[in-house]
Structure 1
Amino acid sequence: MKYNFFILIYIFLAVSLFAQNDTINQKDNNGLPHGYWEKYKEGKLFYKGHFNHGNPIGEFTYFYPDNIIKTKLSFSDNGKKAYAIHYYKNGKKYAEGMYYDKKKEGKWIYYDGFDHIIAIENYKNGELNGISYDFFPNGDTLQIANYVNGKKNGEYRLFYPTKSPRIIANYKNDTIQGLTKYFYSNGQVYEIGKYRDGLRDSLWIMYDENGVVILTELYNYGSLIERKVYQPDKDPMKLEDDIIKNIDLYRKGIIKEPSENDFFNGTIR
């Protein structure tokens, strides 16, 4: 009797396993993924989710190699739309926003791994468009920039942790242009002048923290024509142009952001 019982159990398990394999990673008559799918990379679960005749539907879950959730994509509109939530390995959110036709669209929010928002960006057709914000961990604004088709255009502001402005500038197609002001942390102007095509042009004036002129410089399209020093003991000798080169000092950068290619270019097939 026991022998027959174990035979029945064996048959049941075998049938169940066969049925399970028969319902995973199936394709329709056109060779398109259909139903529940699991994909593995190097023996590790990479993603799981459902297809409807080649189109991803509902929630897809992607994993780090150690089986920790990396990304959740919620598909709609026949797979054209996907709301994404990316995660750090500690389970905290890294970023969230919408993909449309495999490109970022609308508002995206980025986090520091401790539930603090560190950036808010706006996208159109996969490119930055509109105002982008970066924040200090305490929530205060670090910088504000406007983008058109992926390039900085319009006013740019960078702030100190004290909320006072550090830089007020203008950009045209990612190049600094026009009147630019640098500030001390006490709010006093440190330097003021104009840029032309990213190069200093016309008169530049440098002040001390009390608003007294330290020096003046006259430029012609990046070339220094004349320099007058009024407070030699406060002459920095080297202008701080490197602050422009590092103007995006607090962009996300905590970990590499997942690329759209990780999810849309064949990885879900």
Structure 2
Amino acid sequence: MFTERYCNFEANLLKLMDTIPMIRKTLLLAAVLAAPCFLFAQKAPNSIDENGLKQGEWAKYNAEGQLIYTGAFSDDKPTGLFTYFFEDGTKKAELPYEDGEVLKASSKTFHRNGKVMSEGTYVNKNRDGEWKFYDEDEKLISEEYYDNGLKTGIWKVYYYNGTLNEETTYENDRKNGPWKQYFTDGTLKVTGTYVNDLLEGESVYYHPDGKVMVRGSYVKNLKHGKWVFFDQDGTMVKEQEYTMGKLPDDPQ
């Protein structure tokens, strides 16, 4: 349809050219004949077939003309690598598609400064395996593990200096197993155990020099039984007896 309209326009233009002086005629003809080539070169990639389905390369913009994403479609289904952008044009995320679905594919997201913010793998639209997260200086801040979207394994959080801050064990999307926290120099700060997201059994809290500061037990996330407190010399300074989170003199 565009070609037919352009050919009619060109024929009418040539008739009009007979009334224009030669020099102006030459310049005008060159400019107009070059226009369709420019238009085809600059043609927007977004294409919809006769059935209304997206086909080929696409670029989507918001109302302000800012690029949202680039990618390709086949019969209206995303295929291949899609790249998403922040409002200022910096890359936000990369996500590969296959037949319209994120099957098993590597994914990356980015900070506004262009540094990687996260990287990992999707399987059937769910996070799977190891995922890493970074700050805006691309320093590692955490490592997470998933099994088809469910939290699993030992999750780690890091201090800015790169030393380990916390280790939490997950199973079936819940905290289950050993839990540890560390001081910035790597010295142990807390140890405990989670069962179905609740602290259970003995927990120990340490002074920065590694000596025990507090020792006691939890039942369903509540302090229960004897809790013992120590000073930095290791001398016991206090004992307290808890019953499901309450001391004897606590108001009922």
- The two structures have a TM-score, normalised by structure 1, of 0.76
CA offset at residue 74 of structure 1? Answer: 3.0
Match of 1:73 in 2: 95
Q: Distance in 1 between matches of 2:41 and 2:185?
A: 64
CA offset at residue 56 of structure 1? Answer: 2.2
Judged with a 3 Å threshold, the aligned counterparts in structure 2 of structure 1 residues 41 and 190 are, in CA distance, closer, same or farther, namely same
Match of 1:264 in 2: none
3-state DSSP of counterpart to 2:247: strand
Match of 1:171 in 2: 194
Q: Distance in 2 between matches of 1:35 and 1:175?
A: 51
Structure with the larger RCO, 1 or 2 (CA within 8 Å, 6+ apart): 1
What letter matches 1:41 in structure 2? N
CA offset at residue 75 of structure 1? Answer: 3.2
Judged with a 3 Å threshold, the aligned counterparts in structure 2 of structure 1 residues 32 and 124 are, in CA distance, closer, same or farther, namely farther
CA offset at residue 26 of structure 1? Answer: 2.1
Would you say the 8 A contact 1:217–1:225 is kept in 2? no
Match of 1:241 in 2: none
Q: Distance in 2 between matches of 1:137 and 1:81?
A: 31
Match of 1:112 in 2: 135
Would you say the 8 A contact 1:167–1:182 is kept in 2? yes
Would you say the 8 A contact 2:78–2:99 is kept in 1? no
Match of 2:10 in 1: none
Larger Cα-atom Rg = 2
What letter matches 2:142 in structure 1? A
What letter matches 2:71 in structure 1? G
Q: Distance in 1 between matches of 2:88 and 2:151?
A: 33
Which blocks of at least 5 consecutive residues in structure 2 are unaligned?
Answer: 1-22
Q: Distance in 2 between matches of 1:119 and 1:14?
A: 53
Q: Distance in 2 between matches of 1:93 and 1:147?
A: 25
Quick check: 1:33 aligned with 2:48? no
Quick check: 1:126 aligned with 2:149? yes
Quick check: 1:51 aligned with 2:78? no
3-state DSSP of counterpart to 1:11: helix
Aligned residues: 226
Match of 1:24 in 2: 45
Within the candidate set 224, 231, 238, 1:208 is matched to: 231
Q: Distance in 1 between matches of 2:50 and 2:143?
A: 44
CA offset at residue 19 of structure 1? Answer: 6.9
- The two structures have a TM-score, normalised by structure 2, of 0.81
Q: Distance in 2 between matches of 1:171 and 1:143?
A: 14
Q: Distance in 1 between matches of 2:172 and 2:46?
A: 39
Q: Identity of counterpart residues, as a percentage?
A: 31
Match of 2:14 in 1: none
Q: Distance in 1 between matches of 2:239 and 2:190?
A: 19
Residues 79-117 of structure 1, C-alpha deviations (whole Å, 9 max, x = no match): 323422111111111111122222222211111111211
Would you say the 8 A contact 2:199–2:218 is kept in 1? yes
Judged with a 3 Å threshold, the aligned counterparts in structure 2 of structure 1 residues 34 and 77 are, in CA distance, closer, same or farther, namely closer
Q: Distance in 1 between matches of 2:150 and 2:24?
A: 68
Would you say the 8 A contact 1:218–1:226 is kept in 2? no
3-state DSSP of counterpart to 2:229: strand
